[in-house]
Every structure is written in structure tokens, then in C-alpha cells.
Structure 1
Amino acid sequence: MADLAIRESRWNHALVSSASGVWDQRMNGDYYYSDIWRRIRGLGPNDPIPPTTEIWLESVHPHDREHVLHCIERQNSGDPAYLTFQYRERHHDGHYIWIECRGACIETDDQGRALRITGTDTDVTARKAQEEWQEGLSRRLRLALDISRIGVFETDFDAGISVWDDAMRHIFEVDEEDEIRIGDRWEEKLHPDDRERVLANVTRRIEMRETFTDDYRIIARDGSTRYIRANSLPYVDHDGRLKMIGVNWDVTEDRRLREELERQKALAEARNEELERTRIAAEHSALHDYLTGLPNRRFLEQRIDDWRAVPEAERHGIAILHIDLDRFKQINDTLGHSAGDAMLKHAAKILRDSIRPSDFAARIGGDEFVLLVAHSGTTTALSDVAARIIETMRQPVWYNGHECRFGASIGIAYSNDRLADPRQLLQNADIALYNAKNLGRNRYEFYKPSSRSMLVDAHRLSDQLLRGLERDEIIPYYQLQFDARTRDITGAECLARWQHPEHGILGPDRFLAVAEDCGVIAQVDRIILEKSLADVARWKALGLDIPKISVNVSARRLNDPDLAQGLSKLDIKPGTVSFELLESVFLDRQDEVVRTNLETLRRLSIGIEIDDFGTGHASIVGLLNLKPGTLKIDRQLIEHLPESQEQRVLVMSIIQIARSLKIKVVAEGVETEEHARILKRLGCDVLQGYGLARPTDFERTTIRLREQRKSAQAG
């Protein structure tokens, strides 16, 4: 009996683990359906089961009913071909699910008629959807390959043969029945001047097991030269056999055909990436993040439930750290998703290394992570963990020759109460994270009861900002800029202000972060540009001249593919407008959208200025690539000029570098006459700061412009 109980226990565990529902039907009307069988269909323990086959068939998809009846009949008769079949059945919630039915007749009467049928049902809806998606993708890829006339090959070096598809044979003029062996067909076609180089390259790449692209010539049957491009991937299959798979295509045709082939190549690469993502997703458990290998949100929730299920006497205190990566989106947008993925993996490794084996780290989405740690002491240990994570995260990471820098903001909530609600702690940690980000990022904050009201205020401000945009409450303020030698007005920086109906004029520190979170920062940029252009036209009508205005441009707007179209509709006179880009946006490499938009700015004669220069990580190579017209030295480098020799040397070096590159220099943060005097001596071109002019609205700026005109006329 004990052995029987063990076997029965194993059987039950196996069925539960397989997520299969058990059914047992006897022809005398005695039926059994397991809890999982019911759960698959959305039925509760007490929900009724259809009493007859006819009534049950009403829940089967109309297109499957005839098939189901046939399969049941064959299954009852013991036909081994029908031990398993699939069909669609209506879920209790109303939608259809795919069910894989496995059953067999285990008891018959003297005449061979079924007396007892038993089996399992499994919900295969997700699998069917994946199969359908993959089949559709395969059809599209086959069509793409046919249209593009790309030849596909696979070479088995151990067998000494290569398999070519029809397109490959057509390109190399090989008959369908001819066998392709290594060392003959392909090698014979190579142009004599390319053969040694190509074969040596193939040999080297195979030894290194790396993907490679090659361009070479072949000799056609008629003696003409054809140009071929090949992509190849050496690999070792699961049997340990060395193989190589690749594609070849003829690029001899004109530019139009070559561009089309490049598009097809991109489709093929996208296909490979998609297939790789699908493979990774299939190999990972539903409880883990496919990219970092960390547990996902579902696993986190399960772990929280597990903590609550532990008897109260055995529980420990609990702490939750909610982590958000700073500047991650910028890396992702600028260097590409592969760089972003690399940063996420790097961050995940840091988190794994920062906690004990008994603690829990999860990626819950995007660039957000959660740590669930046992806690029964003071906050010192939690502070140490958070500080260590922040310090490690801020260290530079190299990716494909690019230095990537990002940080982390952390919100912490904890409780020593064994009856604490972990889900409430998770919400509290989220609120603490929000505060950490609002207080400057790259820091950690503990949850405080007052934090919740601060979050409510922030959400209220977001709603007010969106209404303010609808009511046209965003206006420009102008901070005049002056020639360092003559003190003539050379231009003005256009700054965003919010004309709040209750709080009056609000500076950017009060609402730009909210605008970024709401996704309307690009809209604010556009509004300031359009209103500033209108004000310049008004000044011109008054006979007042402001040579140039500069407006800030966010990273979001610089990545907007519709930027060029919007700018082309504005009346921008050449040389009168500059766009200020933060140095943190200005990297050594921009993506295609950014490069296109920068070219549009140059085509429209819109100047490019680098704002806050000296505080980021831009390189001289980046300056040469971007070719800005102006650098604005950050106010942090100007503040201590009078008393700091080191600061003066640094500023002078920046000015000399800019001058050698024919780049104008603007100094921000000019607060005193001594600042102005030193900067003039160092060779700075333009001065800007509260010591010369504070930001003012249109009316007060107009007064200042009139004063300048009178002064010029008097002189």
C-alpha cells in the first residue's frame, strides 16, 4: 500500500506540474473532473458541468464540433491515431481557448464498447498562438527571400557538402541536379584576383566562429564579371558538426536594385533578431525576464505571496528597494537597443552582486528593478546596500568603443512588523523612488508618510500642466546676451515660463521635470520657439533689433522624426535662430533620426549650440562630428573664476579649443563685473548672466531693447 501511495503521489505531482486537467468518464454516468480541468475553462469548484454531450458541444467552436465528435468516436474505439486531438472550447468568460485532449479507453464490455474513458486536457492557447505567429513569419520571410532573389546555403564541413537553394544555384549557374561539394563549384566561380583573399578570409572567420560579410566577383558562363555580396555564419550544431549558413546575392544591378537588396537584408536581420528573441523567450520560464535572467514581476508577486503564506511566528521583517535607472533612455535612443540591453544586463549583474543569496532581485519592466530583502534591524544596512548600488551603477561602462554612463534612483520602504503588507510596502517604495528622482536622481530616499501627499501634489501639477498647455499658459522669457568687448546686445536665450493662474510665473525647475514625465517636453520646446519667432516679428515692427535668439531643444524633440516638417512651416530667417543642445544630449554618436534632424537645422541655417559645456562627457571628436557654431560654458565653471587660477586655466583652454575649431564661446552665469572683465581678457565672445540681465517677459525686454537703441543713437 505504501508503494501504491508513493506512485499515486508521483502521478498527482506530475499532473499538477504539467498544468493538465484530469477527466474520467464512465458510461454509467459517473464523471470526474479535476480542479485544473475546471480552472482551464474558468469554472469554479461548484460550477455545474454540462450534463450531456449535446449540451457540452454547444460550448465547442462551431467549426470544430464535427471534428470533435469524430475524434471522440475514434478515441472511444481505441484508435491509437486519436489518442490526442485539439479543438477550441468557449471559456467561462466568453472567449475561446485551445485545448489538447489526451485520452484512452481503459475499460470495455464484452462487445468491445467503451465503458470508461480517462485522460487529460491541457490549455495550449498560447502555444497555438505562437505557432500561428511563427508560421505567418515564415511565410513572409519565404516571400521576402523569393522576391529579393537572395540565395541561401548551408555547408557541412564534416560531410564535405553544401546545400544550395534554387536562388543560390541560379546566381552561380549550377544545375539543379548537380551536387555541391566543398572545393569545387563555388571556388571555381571566384574571380582569380579575389580568390586568395576571399578563401583566406573564409578560413579565418570559420576558425574564429564569427559572422562575416564579404564582397567579391565571380566569372559567369558568358565570361562576364558579376559582383556578389555574402553574409555567412559559422557555427557548431548540436551534434558537434562544424557548419556554416549564409546568404548570397548578385549586386551587379543599378543603385535601385542594390537599395532594394539592402532593405531585404534588413528584413532578414530583423527576422534573425526576432527569431532569437523568440528562442530566448521559449527557453526561459514564465517567471523570469528573458533579457537579464532576473525574476519578473509575476515571480515577484509570487514571492510576496509566499512571504505572506509563511506562519507568522516564522516570518522576518521585510524591505523593498524600488530601483529606476537614470539616463537609460538616452543611451537606448542614442546608441541603440543593443546598447540599452547591455546596460540592463550590467545593471542586473550589479544587483545580483549587491544582495545576499537569500534576497530577491527582479526586473519588473523597462529599466525598473525591485529588491526584496529580509530586514529585522536598523536602516543602516539598507542605506549601505542602496549607496553601494548607486556608486557601482554610476561607474562608466564601455560598449562597442563608447563610454556609457548611467545612474540609479532608489526608493526604500521597510517594516519589522511580521503582519506588514508587502504590496503596500511596494507602493510605498514606488513613492519613495518618485521623491528620489524629484530630488535630483542618483540617490536613495526612504518612504515617509508625508511622501504620499507629495506624490498627490506632483500628480495634481501634471494635470494642471496639461490644462495649462491647452490654455496657452506657457510663455517665453528672454535673457539678453552681450558682446564681451562692446557690451552690445548680440541675442537672447528664450526660456520657458508657466503663467500659472494661481501661483503666477513658474520657472522651469517647477515644471520641466513634470513635462518630461508627461511626455510633453517637446511640445513645450515647440511652443517657446513659435512664440519667440512671433515676438521677434513684433520687435521688428517696432523698429527694434535682436540679432539672434536661441531656444533649448530637448533630447525627445531632437529624436522626433517630424521635426524637419514642423520647422519648414516656420518663417525662420537664416542666421537668426540657434538651437541649444545639452552636452548630455550631445554624444559622439547619434542615431539616424538625430543625424537627419541636425542636417535639417544646417540646411535651414539654424545654428547649433552646445549648452552647459564642460559638465558632461563630450569629446573633441564629438565636437568635430557635430560642428556646432557656439559653445556655452556652464555657469559652474564661471562661478569661481575670480579666486580660482585652475578655473581660469580651464576656461581659457575651452576658449582656445573652440577658437581653433572656429566655434564661438558664450559664458553663462556672469554675475559680477569681475566675471565679465576676466572673460573678456580670456577671449570669450559673448556674456550672459544675472549680472548683465535677468530673464524678462516681452514687455520688459522691449524696454531694454529701446534703451539699447537710444544709447546707440546717442553714441
Structure 2
Amino acid sequence: MTEPREPIDTGNGPMTQDSLAPHAMDQVPAGVILVDAGNDIRTANATALRLLGRTAEEVIGASIAAFVHGEDLPAVVAFEGVEGAEEPAVVRFIGALGTHAMLVSRAALPAAPGAGATTILTMLPTDRLVSEIASLRKDETRWKYALESALEGVWDHDFETGNLFYSSTWRRLRGLADDAEVDGTLEKWIENVHPDDRAHVLACIARQDSGEAKFNTFQYRERHADGRWIWIESRGASVAYGPDGKPCRIIGTDTDITARKEAEARLAEVSRRLQLALDVSRIGVFEHNLDTGVSHWDEAMFRMYGLDPAGEAPSSAGWESFLHPEDKAVAIKRVNDAIASGTPFTNAFRIIRPDGVVRHIRSNAAFHTDLDGATRLVGANWDITDDIALQEELRRAKSFAEARNSELEAARVSIEYNALHDHLTDLPNRRYLDRILTEARVVNAILHIDLDRFKQINDTLGHQAGDAMLVHAADVLRSHAERDDFIARIGGDEFVIVCRSGRGSIHLEELAQGIIQAFRRPVPYAGQLCRLGASIGVAVNEGRLTDPRQLLMDADIALYRAKSLGRDRFEVFSDEMQNQILTAKRIGDELREALEKRQFIPYYQPQFDARSLEITGVETLVRWSHPARGVLAPMQFLKVAEDINLLAAIDRMVVEMAYADFRAWQRQGLAIPKISVNISSRRLRDPQLVSDVREMKIPRGVMSFELLESIFLDEFEDEVAETIAALNELGIDIEIDDFGTGHASIIGLLKLNPARLKIDRALVGPVTENRKQQKLVRAIIDIGHSLNIKVVAEGVETWTHAALLADLGCDVLQGYALAKPMSREDFERLARKGFDVPRSFSEARRVR
């Protein structure tokens, strides 16, 4: 015997094999088939037979496999050891009319005594089920795309199951990936909420969690994944409640309203600015409904009309009562005409306020039809009383100004004339010249004239004499220029003639030469004859220039050339001159770079005792170690260096390097008594010179500065005299270079008190052939010795020169016969090797 079967609950009470008789199974709305342990069909209800399209005779006793598609057979065949209900599956059944898909649920029934295990299959047609599922899926898809297109992020919090759902749109709103994990706990999520919004958000959540609010909407700022803050509008609804009446499931959406918030902020800012503008401008705004006659005024309108803002705006008739009697008819007519035409209009009128004060009002208005179709007149009033008063004041001022117009015009003409003319010579000034050159279309030529020796006259005879010379110069230029030429004084002693009519080069050169000849004639002043001179630069427009200002620059270049070639002459600008200027500029640029890169190096020419021919010192000579052109002598760059004001800096560098070499020689044991360095007049006037020498801490008697005689020793400036005195106190000796060809006198020598004189090579060269020259040189030596000044002969080219100069009493010899200027390395080799006195020198001295 088998054990009693356990009943199976089908939803309609317990069910056993006995209770599944055919008449009972026919009551079930679904198809039911009972399969035994051998997978044979024991019974089937009428619905199952109808679904299969078979008779009971065809089905009962047959194997279930005969009616099921082979691939779906595992879903319906009972397996040993399987108990209880299985998951429903869609199974294809082979009926009389074809294959039909049906949803099958399978359950195992306890077998009857001696019958073995049994399986019950419940069948439902899938056509209707599939249609309903498809409909549901279509609805789900429709809502999904609707929410996504609206950028609504969906969230679903099921607190009973603990399932927290967040849609992909919800994640994308926050900059998260669609598959990013989200920690939806309140404690974690609230960390991303803006600190200023957390209290508000927590309060809203608490109201919904308590059941107080079934539907909840709030706005807050949340941190985006990229670090910025975004505004979120969250809407949530409670869809299920627990036994305690509190929500157990809440579903909602989140929307990014950042753009809307920014637009609201901008709108608020615009509104604030508009209100501020209205407040500052004191403009009153009104609106009048033409259909109802009702008006609305803002506070500014009430204040403008002297009314209480708490009251009601006046009607049309009430507004008309404020109008000044003299303006009333015109103002009302203007309003009525505008209403009739429906066009915007402007009005101006006076009002009398309740306090009796009269104010001037200006009004602008336009018509507007609102959403209800009502016609409204919208406009603004502003008080122009102060403007009217100002206009009246301006009218009075204008009348007063017109009364004085002729006087002011005369003053204007005088001021303009004075602004454009030189008060001394009555010639046009630089400002007038600039205007002429700017406005002129064609300029034939420009002469730039600079007076020579004007400074000496001005300094020696006084400024009145200088002014007289300038007036004389203006008269000379007027007498030589043609009628349409433009003459201007553009500086202290500089003049310009602009030739506007066509003249050839020969005519222009004759004009320049004539002016120079005229300036050479002495000018009497205060019982004396003043001699001026003129240097002139000429630039001719040869059809290539379009800008007259460039022509003036060319004339200036030509003037510079004329002055550099000796003054009292003229030069005509040429392409060659331009190229020379460009070359000088290129050299100047290279000199600045050379100074930065310390490309200047010292060369040394030894100086010898005239009797023993022992080295008594060295003269330091500057050389430029050019990276491309090799070692350059001073004559190739010093003039340009002086023009661009680099000579003082080069002098400073040479002094520093020479003293550094001298100290190195001392450490090497080379007996070099002293060094001398050439100092330019510009460096001598450099206020930094004394402090630079003091910082070097040069021992007394070690270094001497060579000054050119052409520095005008008789006319020392005070600052130069003070500099030389300071150098003497520091132990720096002063030497006079090129003595005998310049302007120095005995008085100048006494004033300067130099340590040595260097006789110029122009006097030394002829000394072996000319006895007069010998007497001159001996006289210079005697003068030097009488003043306790040692004498150096430079330019000693032969040993005959050396012997003769020694016999004449010269103290030191310097020249190519003894040694040429050489690099530091070559000089050090010479100093170590020593100097052999040539036999020719000794023999020449014995003969004498």
C-alpha cells in the first residue's frame, strides 16, 4: 500500500488524483492534461482537447511527446526526483491543424497506489497573453521615451523590499554613467546636496516620510560629477503604505532646472536694473485702459504729481485737472489725436501740483492690446523742470557769448597764430611744420639748416645777442626763399625750408650755397662782429616719396652728415648716405650685443724707458673680438659707439679688464710698473666714473687715465675739474695724449697738473729729418720737465727715432719699432722673455 496522497492546493481547494476526474477537470477554464510516470497521457479535459484539435481517443494513452515540439519537450516531461511546481514556460504543441504556442505550468502530483508519480500540465493559449504583454511593453516603452525626452530622471524607493531604483536619465542628469552604482541611502545622498539647501530638503523628505504629504515637490542644488552645482526639481508620490500608515514605496522624477534657474536669475537682475534705472532717472510709469477708463500709476508718478502713493490713480479727467491752463488744450489734443491714429506719441506740458508748484513734464506713450483684447495706453512721464531751467540758462549764456563772438574770434585767431608761430622770429614753428607736412600732397624738397657757432655767441655775449642772431637768420632765409616756400624755426638754432614748387637739384644746391655764403658775413652787434655759419641738409623728392615727413627725416640725415664733415657746408641726401646710416645702425646693434656678451678685449702696447729700454708700463687699447669679422681696431667702431652713447660703457669694461690682467701679472711675478687706459670725454663726464674706480680699490700710482688734448684743457667744465681732482685723490694719474696738435696751453697744463705728456706721432715722425721739428720736440720735453711732467714719445717707428728721442731727453718710448699692440697672452710671453736692446740703438746713441 502506498501512503495517502497529499492534497495540492490549486486555488480552489485541495486537489488529488481522485479529484481530477474528467467532469471535474472540465470545470477548469484552462486546458489540463494528466501525465503518468511513463509520460503517457492518462486524461485530458475538454479545453485541452479543443486546444489540441484532437479527440479523447487520439489523446488518451498516447505519449505526451507525440503532441509537443521536440525542442520544448523538457518543459513538460516529468523527471525523476522533481517535486512541486515549476516555472511556467511557452511550449509549442502539435495539434491537428498545426503548431500552437501555449503557456504551460507543470506540477507533480503524488501517485495513486500502484500508479507511480504523475504530472499535471495546465495550458493557456499565448495569443491573448502575448497581445497583452506586447501592449504592456508598448505602454512601458511609450512612457520610458516620454520621460527620457522630457529629461525626467525616474526613481523608485521600495522600503519593504529595500529596492532603490534609478533610471539612466536620473544618472545622466548628475553626470554619471548609465550603469554607475548609486548609493541611495539618505546619509550618503545628502552629502551631495548644497549645504545651504540641506535643511530644506530634509524637512520636505520628513513631511513625506511621515505621511503628512502624499505628493511632494521641492527644489535644491546638488553636486554634479564634474564638480559644479546643478538645480534639481524633485517630485515624489507615495504609492503604497505600510500598516502604520506611513509610505512604504515612493516613486518620483527629478528634473534638471539649472537653465531655468539661471534664466530666472538673469530676469531678476534685468528687473532689478530696470527698477534701479527708473529710480535713478526718476521716471514715472503709467498704464491706462482705454476701454474701462481705469489707470495705474507707479510710486514715481504719484510723487511727480504731488499725490499720496497710497491713493488711487486719477482718471483721464483727473489727470487733465493737473494741466497748466496755457498747456491744457494742446496737451489734450495731442493725446486725442494719438488715440485716433493709434500711433506712439510724445507730449510736453506743465502741471500744477496740489501744493501750487509748477513742474515741466515730458511724456512718451504707445498703445498695446492685452491678452483679453483690451486697448491700453502705456507710457512714462519724467520731470524736466531742471532741464528747462538749464536750457534757459544756456540760452542766456549763448546770447552773452554771441555778444562777445567777434572779440573771441579775434582772440582765437591770435591764439592760433601764436600757437603756430615762433614769437621771436615770427616764423612758423614745429607744430605748424608738422601740419604742413601732414596736409601737403607734394613737396619738392626740404632744406634743414643748423646754425654754426651760435652756442659760442649765445654763451659769450648773452641771450640777447643770441636772439639777435636768430632774427638775423630768419631774415637771411626769407631773402633767399621763394614766395611759396614755407620757412619754419623748429628748434633753438634749427630752421627748415619746405620748397613746394618744382626746382632742380642744381637750383637747390645754389640755394643752399647762397644761404651758407650769406651766413659767413659778419653780423654787427653791440660794437662787435659776430660770425655765424650754417650747415645744411638737402633732401629732394625724386618722385619716389609720397610722405613729406620722410623727406624731412632724409634732410635731417644729410644735415648730420654735413656737420660730421666739418660744418659750414651742405650735403644732399642720397641712397649711399642712407646705406651708410643703415650700416651704422647695424654696427650699433652689434655693439650693444657685443657689450652684453663682453666681446671687447684689451690689447697692450708696452712702453719702454728711453735709456734702458726696460718696460715701464703698458697702454691699454680696446679691440672688438667680432664673432664673424675677427679682431677689429677702434677706428672701425668707436665713432659709432660714441654716436649711440656706448663709449662710456666700453671704457668702463676696458678699465675693469685691464686692472684684472694687471693683478694677474702681479700674482705671476711679472714686473709691470703701471698701466694706462684711454678715457673718452663722455666717460670723464660720467658721474659714475669716480664711484666705479673707488669700488675697484686700485693702489696709488698703478693706473693712469689718458685724456685727449682736444678736451680743451683751457676751458674745463666745473664737473670735469671735480672729477679729475677726485681721481687724483684716489691715486689715478692723468696723462695728456696727442700733445702738440690740440689747444692745451701752459696755463692749462698747470691747472691740470698731469703726470705725463704724450707727444703726438705727427710731431715725432719728422724728427729725424727736420731740425726745426727736433727743436720743437725738445721744447715740449723741456716744458714738461720744467713742470715736473714726464714726457712719452708715441709713434716711434724706427730705432733711429728711438735713439734721437732718448738723446732729446724723452723719458718713455712707445711705437712699432719697439713693440706693436698685442693680446694679453703675447704680452705675457714678451714680459717673461725680456727685451734685448738692438745693436742699432746702442750704436746710434754712441754716434750722437
Correspondence list, 1:79-94, <5 A: none
Inter-partner Cα distance in structure 2 for 1:394 and 1:471:
52
1:104 paired residue number: 400
Structure 1, unmatched stretches of 5+, are 1-67, 84-101, 107-116, 127-281, 310-316
Q: TM-score, normalised by structure 2?
A: 0.45
Q: Is 1:300 matched up with 2:444?
A: no
Q: How far apart in 1 are the matches of 2:401 and 2:422? A: 42
Residue 326 of structure 1 and its aligned partner are, at CA, apart by 8.2
**Letter of the aligned partner of 2:603 in structure 1?**
Y
Mapped pair 1:585 → 2:711: yes
The reply on whether 1:557 has 2:683 as its aligned counterpart is yes
User: Is contact 1:582–1:612 with CA below 8 Å preserved after alignment?
Assistant: yes
Q: CA deviation at 1:659?
A: 2.3
Q: Which amino acid aligns with 1:648?
A: Q
Task: Give the equivalent residue in structure 2 for 1:547.
Answer: 673
Q: Distance in 2 between matches of 1:656 and 1:71?
A: 96
What percent identity do the matched residue pairs reach?
45
The change in CA–CA distance for 1:431 and 1:625 in structure 2 (over 3 A counts) is same
Q: Please list every run of 5 or more consecutive structure 2 residues that lacks an aligned counterpart in the other structure.
A: 1-385, 843-848
- Please give the alpha-carbon distance, in whole angstroms, between the structure 2 residues aligned to 1:612 and 1:706: 30
Return the letter of the residue paired with 2:400: A
> Does structure 1 residue 676 correspond to structure 2 residue 676?
no
Pairing 1:245-394 to 2, within 5 Å after superposition: 285-289=418-422, 295-302=428-435, 304=437, 308=441, 318-323=444-449, 349=472, 353=476, 356-358=480-482, 362-365=488-491, 369-372=495-498, 376-377=503-504, 379=506, 382=509, 385-386=512-513, 389=516
CA RMSD in angstroms comes to 4.8
Specify which of 581, 598, 602 is matched with residue 728 of structure 2. 602
Q: Answer whether contact 1:294 1:362 (CA < 8 A) is retained.
A: yes
Aligned residues of 1:294 and 1:348 also touching (Cα < 8 A): no
Counterpart amino acid of residue 718 in structure 2? E
Asked whether the equivalents of residues 476 and 515 of structure 2 are also in contact (C-alpha less than 8 Å), the reply is: no
2:697: which partner in 1? Answer: 571
2:554 to 428, 451, 472: 428
Q: Secondary structure at the match of 2:617?
A: strand
Whether contact under 8 Å (1:390, 1:442) holds in the other structure is: no
CA separation in 2, counterparts of 1:546 and 1:529? 16
Judge conservation of contact 2:505–2:540 (CA < 8 Å) in 1: no
Q: Which residue does 1:689 correspond to in 2?
A: 815
Does the aligned pair in 1 maintain the 2:519–2:532 contact within 8 Å? no
Shift of 1:463: 1.0
Kindly name which structure, 1 or 2, has the bigger radius of gyration based on alpha carbons: 2
| CA deviation after TM superposition for structure 1 residue 477, in Å | 1.1
Are the structure 2 counterparts of residues 668 and 436 from structure 1 closer, same or farther at C-alpha, using a change threshold of 3 Å? farther
Partners of 1:464 and 1:691 in 2: how far apart? 34
- Contact 1:326/1:407 (<8 A) preserved: yes
Task: Please say if residues 560 and 593 of structure 1, whose CA atoms lie closer than 8 Å, have aligned partners that are also in contact.
Answer: no
Code of the residue aligned with 1:657 in structure 2: it is: I
Tell me what 1:516 maps to.
642
1:439-494: CA deviations, max 9, x gaps? Answer: 67776433222332322222111111111111111111112222222222221211
Whether contact under 8 Å (1:318, 1:414) holds in the other structure is yes
Question: Distance between the aligned counterparts of 1:603 and 1:298, measured in 2?
Answer: 50
The Cα shift of 1:519 comes to 1.6
SS of structure 2 residue aligned to 1:572: coil
Aligned equivalents of 2:464, 2:758: Cα separation in 1: 33
Q: Determine whether 1:648 maps to 2:781.
A: no
**Change in 2 beyond 3 A, CA 1:551/1:306:** same
Q: Is 1:665 matched up with 2:791?
A: yes
Q: d(CA) in 1 for partners of 2:822 and 2:570? A: 36
State the partner residue of 1:484: 610
Q: Which amino acid aligns with 1:413?
A: A
User: Deviation string for 1:357-414 (max 9, x for gaps)?
Assistant: 5466544346655444577355487278459749968999999x9xx99987643323
Q: Quick one: structure 1 residues 304 and 593, their matched pair in 2 at CA, closer, same or farther if it must change by over 3 Å?
A: same
Distance 1:306 1:495, change over 3 A: same
Count of matched residue pairs: 446
Instruction: Judge conservation of contact 2:739–2:759 (CA < 8 Å) in 1.
Output: yes
SS at match of 1:486: coil
Cα distance in 2, alignment partners of residues 356 and 380 from structure 1: 12
Structure-2 separation of matches of 1:340 and 1:699: 57
Deviation at 1:546, TM superposition (A): 1.7
Q: Who is 2:22 aligned against?
A: none
Q: Counterpart of 2:62?
A: none
Deviation of the 1:544 alpha carbon: 0.9
Distance in 2 between residues matched to 1:431 and 1:555, nearest whole Å: 25
Q: Distance in 1 between matches of 2:576 and 2:654?
A: 35
Matches of 1:561 and 1:394, distance apart in 2? 41
1:530 corresponds to 2:649: no
Q: Distance in 2 between matches of 1:548 and 1:397?
A: 54
CA distance in 1, matches of 2:705, 2:466: 30
Which residue does 2:254 correspond to in 1? none
Candidates 457, 460, 473, aligned match of 2:586: 460
> 1:31 is matched with which residue?
none
Kept after mapping to 2: 8 A contact 1:375/1:416: no
State the SS of the aligned residue for 1:584: helix
Q: Distance in 2 between matches of 1:463 and 1:77?
A: 63
User: Aligned with 1:485: secondary structure?
Assistant: coil
Larger relative contact order, structure 1 or 2 (CA cutoff 8 Å, min sep 6): 1
Secondary structure (helix, strand or coil) at the match of 1:575 reads coil
Spell out the pairing of 1:630-645 with structure 2 (5 A cutoff): 630-645=756-771
3-state DSSP of counterpart to 2:710: coil
- Correspondence for 1:611: 737
Q: Is the 8 A contact 2:705 2:734 kept in 1?
A: yes
The within-5 A match list for 1:76-225 is 76=394, 78=396, 103-104=399-400
Q: Contact (CA 8 Å) 1:75, 1:105: kept in 2 or not?
A: no
Q: Deviations over 1:572-594 (max 9, x none)?
A: 11011111112222332333322
Q: Secondary structure of 1:565's match?
A: helix
